[in-house]
Structure 1
Amino acid sequence: MDTKCYTVITFAPVQGFIEKSRKLRDLYGSSFLLSYLACAICREAEKNQCEVVSPALINVTQGTPNQIIIARDFPQSIAEETFNTAWQKVVEVCRQYIENELNAFTYTWQRQWNAWSNHAWEFFWAQSTAAELCQEQSDGITEKNVTLITHARRRLNQIKTQRNWTAINWQGESSTLSGTEAIAHPHMTDKTHPLDSSKAAQTQEINQFYQQLSQTLGEAILDPSERLSIPELIKRLITLDVIAKQLNIAEKDLPSIEVPESFVELNRHDNNLWTGWFQGDGDKIGEYLRKLKDEDQDEAKSLNTFSSAMMKWGKNLKYDLPPDRKERAKVQNLDVTDGRIIYAGGDDFLGVLYRHDQTQLKPQECLNWFYKFPEIWKKHDQRITVSVGLVWAGHGVPQRDVLQHCRDAEKSAKKKGRDRLAIRILFNSGNYLEWVCPWWCLSQFLESSPNKSNNWTHFYNDIATLESRHAFEGQTQIALGLFEIYFGQANRQCLETHLWDKDDKTGILGNQPHDKEKQNIKALNSWVINLAKVGFHLAS
């Protein structure tokens, strides 16, 4: 792609209200909102005869990354105006919808909605031209091998450090979700004197407002006990067809209300069923793209190809959920899967495994799918690995906690070497167990013992007894010996050979040994101990 200018754009919420998605329906609304705003910029760029390099595919419902790379000059004034107009329309449509549907209330909250309309986001724009880059390279400011896209991205990162935003002030009670923003209600901006105001009367009005709003939207969208802020309400409302149509979203891109309504199926409190939640992300994407550049591939073309491949992979991930297509074909229904993909906008994804018929999905069935996951991942044909966190969660764990554990489990997989799966058993009490293992030896270790269920019990009991006697401290021979008893000599040899990263394998314990041998001993012992605990609970 021959161009003398690249424009890079991104945006971020000032108050972090996107990151504060503590429930599944909030997460879905956040993803859809980010995609809608990014799509607005991409489509305006195309109208201005610019070419969108990344994202390669513009899809509101599937997810569009909010870092946008555009070939040619896309002026900041047009880009920012497009973004602001799109966001302000979302705010206005949501406000008017509530006022029209709940017209028995008198509304004096306009000022607070206006504040969110004008001060919710930071917008970042940067550009690099061939002439500017050439001059900086001549002056020794920038390395000779830096490309226009890389140069534009660097400029964007510099601009992002210069924060320029206005915080939104508020009074009264705070949202039950975030705890850091005001509860949205009809008279939220009224100025009242403490001696004249009645807290009881205000509370009664808020309760009535949310009861009626919940009846209008349905409890799948808003629980009557919830008290949300303005941005939290927007995240819920934007998933409604009636809102999306007013935003002129194409029919094929409408976020069918069946999606958030179907989250009711995931109410684990009513059915006492455990569920398997997973979150993943591609490893070292930036480094991979730099390698493509070093191989003398056209950076814009390779970035566009990569973006297209990953977004197509994300779009098709739902078709690879268990059971496999052959099993679904037997019951003549390819749409019935044991789970759901919440989002998959590219190399990052979130999903949950469970049975739609309200019977218990066994942990072994989850494991069987993850044994195949490396092959599913390779379908995008990009030479990158993936780290995933799997949380096997009890029915009594609040959804917001499950989502947080998904994020934390994925971070564990990244921290302990990447290219691996972190498995967490999350109990109703909030306690959890975790074991992390590279993909290449996952099934090799978990499936190697005959009469597995019984062996896991013995292995677990032996570990518990030895751990209570502090038998593992200061050496690894007991852990390795016990591992050999239950998993065989060949697996012990494999474990000892591949403890840390090798040229041909991903290290079982991580990227490189710790500086102190004491830490290496502890890491190996912990890995064996956690294998016993996690394996026992998965088998039982």
Structure 2
Amino acid sequence: MTIYTAISFAPVQGFIEKSRKLRDLFGASLILSYLSQQIAEAAKNSPDCEVISPASINVQEGMPNRILVRGTIDRNQVSNAISQSWKEVLRVCQIWLEENLDFAPEEFHWAQEWEKWHRYTWEVFWGQGETSDAAMLDLERRKLKRDWVGINWTGDSSSLTGTDAIAWHRLGQQNSEPGRSLTHTEKQQLDTFYRQLAWVLDNPDRNRAEDTPSKDEIEGRYIAVNERLSIPELVKRLVTYHVIAKQIGMTPLGESFTEISQKREQWTGWFMGDGDKVGDKLKSIPDDEGQKAFSGAMRDWGRTFKHTFSKELGRVIYAGGDDFLGILYSSELGAKELFSEALKWLNQFKQQWQTHRQDITVSVGLVWAANRVPQRDILQHCREAEKLAKTKGRDRVTIRVVFNSGQFVQWTCPWDYLNILMKYRDRDGGKNWAHLYNDWAHLKSRHAIRSREVNKNKIEPDLALAMLDLYFDGLGQEIQKNRQWTAIAGGNSASAIVQWVEDLVQVGWQLCSNT
């Protein structure tokens, strides 16, 4: 009897979410891909085991964190694989710090803290069944039960407090007590630690942090002198340093990488996408070779997508096959010009997606974020926008504009209707979206257009459709004639139609107006 084994580990989303800079995101992606590859390699080397998914396990970049194996692999073997791999990542980072910072060996008191992070960072999940579907279902069932023990400042397993303690050479010193404020001398030493670290990483030719200059002279490409990081946050930064990555056996971050300034002055775009009903697609493939071919095709697409994405437009942070995350930014283009180029890219994305030749569609959330929106909030908006695109019917994109206040406007449409934004013409034949926006606002203020019932007055979509006809070359009549509202707006009710048009007006005015 054939047995299938499904393997995964966590936290994945949480590990990525706790990222304050673009370099953190890349570092988290590198670590997750590395750990996934080590698990897949352990499964491959087990007797009578064959890795079905992911394909191409010799390629580390973009490895997904779910591994499907035909055969039986011991759960302890899986746990040991991730434990030893993570231990090696931490060991290389710790040793590099101790050898390159200008402190005496006896001044480092943090060995126990690194060991805690080795033991308590990851939870490993493992499921089995007579079919690949049964193994995946067993995996999901087992994930309902936690598989790890949290640590606090003193190493007890009763709470999670203290896991984000600042990483520095005196972390874990015996005379340190929870809640105690640092003395003036300790604050100076903490400041020296991060100043030295930022200086050494900015200057790879230096073996040690001797003769560290003042704060104003340090660029801080990897770590800013005023930052304070926990051990895992520090590790995310360090693995993007090519010397450390090579020591671990990790795919280094490309030398062309450039960080986005934390004091960014313009808007940036962030996109997150995922294949639609991939699980159902895998269930429809009856044989292991077919599943392996599917996984290989998606991995090849992700790798190609990441490496061919225009560097003038932005970067793809990770592409693990059918799921991906990227950022749109440019130091050369203004916000309007950048979105114009991004819109051109989005309009051809479906064609690019279909190059994998697999019968699945894709949903994407694109977040256009103001300059002071925190990165962690942006990632949450990305997930929500992608989820909305799926709940509205899949095979579509949600564009969400997020302001510094936290408020946002958004619009969801199928890929084939995205070019509506480019077809807009105002009353004078130009591109001034303010005309449409002002007309819409005026009609709403007079209650001629309503998106909800007021005093039993029903919602009427006629004026909304007339606006589509006027500004989008008869679009309202075209959609009505072909009865496409359910496919486009996720429903054919009057409220769904009016809301879809209003969302189009809001997003178009914010992003496409030439004023």
Map 1:98-247 → 2, pairs under 5 A: 98-104=97-103, 106-128=107-129, 133=130, 148-170=131-153, 181-192=164-175, 198-218=182-202, 219-247=220-248
Letter in 2 for 1:167: G
Q: Which residue in the other structure is 1:30 paired with?
A: 28
Structure 2 residue runs of 5 or longer lacking an equivalent are 155-160, 203-219, 454-458
Are residues 383 and 208 of structure 1, via their aligned partners in 2, closer, same or farther at CA, if it must alter by over 3 Å?
A: same
Q: 2:444 matched to 1:467?
A: yes
Per-residue deviation, residues 441-470 of structure 1 (Å, max 9, x unmatched) = 221464153766445221111111122333
Paired residue type of 2:282: L
The 1:214–1:358 alpha-carbon spacing in structure 2 relative to 1, beyond 3 Å, is farther
Q: 1:272-283 residue pairs with structure 2 within 5 A?
A: 272-283=265-276
Query: Cα distance, 1:209 vs. partner?
Result: 1.3
Change (3 A) 1:17 1:280: closer
Tell me the TM-score normalised to structure 2 length.
Answer: 0.84
Q: Tell me the distance in 2 between the aligned counterparts of 1:277 and 1:525.
A: 27
Q: Which moved more, 1:393-402 or 1:199-208?
A: 393-402
Aligned to 1:402: 378
The separation in 1 between residues aligned to 2:477 and 2:149, in whole angstroms, is 58
Q: Cα offset for 1:367?
A: 1.1
Post-superposition offset of 1:414: 1.9
Per mean C-alpha deviation after superposition, the further-off stretch among 58-67 and 83-92 is 58-67
Tell me, yes or no, if structure 1 residue 539 matches structure 2 residue 504. no
The aligned amino acid for 2:501 is V
Indicate conservation of the 8 Å contact 2:151/2:163, yes or no: no
1:441 and 2:417 aligned:
yes
Determine if contact 1:14/1:122 at 8 Å carries over to the other structure.
Answer: no
Q: Does the 8 A contact of 1:14 with 1:120 survive in 2? A: no
1:333 alignment partner in structure 2 = none
RMSD of the TM alignment (CA)? Answer: 2.9
Q: In the TM superposition, what is the alpha-carbon distance from 1:404 to its structure 2 partner?
A: 3.2
Deviation of 1:268 after TM superposition, in Å, equals 7.3
> Within 2, Cα distance between the matches of 1:62 and 1:107?
34
Which residue number in structure 2 is paired with residue 349 of structure 1?
Answer: 324
1:425 corresponds to which of 382, 385, 401? 401
Q: Which residue of 1 is the match for residue 91 of structure 2? A: 92
Paired amino acid for 1:238:
V
For 1:496 and 1:227, locate their aligned partners in 2 and report how far apart those are by CA, in whole Å. 60
Whole-angstrom distance in 2 between the partners of 1:453 and 1:206: 58
Matched residue count? 477
SS in 2 for 1:263: coil
The whole-number CA distance in structure 1 between the counterparts of 2:175 and 2:13 is 26
**Contact residue 4 and residue 128 of structure 2 kept, 8 A:** yes
Classify the secondary structure of the residue corresponding to 1:17: helix
Equivalent residue, structure 2, for 1:136:
none
What does residue 509 of structure 1 align with?
489
TM value normalised by structure 1 = 0.81
The verdict on how the C-alpha distance between 1:346 and 1:193 changes in structure 2, with shifts beyond 3 A counting, is closer
Shift of 1:319: 5.4
C-alpha separation in 1, matches of 2:180 and 2:448: 69
The question of 1:485 aligning with 2:470 is answered: yes
The code of the aligned residue for 1:13 comes to P
Large movers: runs of 4+ above 6 Å: 193-197
Distance 1:538 1:304 in 2: 42
Q: Structure 1 residues 362, 85: CA separation in 2 closer, same or farther (over 3 Å shift)? A: closer
CA contact (8 A) 1:338 1:356 kept: no
Supply the AA of the counterpart residue of 1:386.
V
Distance 1:498 1:456, change over 3 A: farther
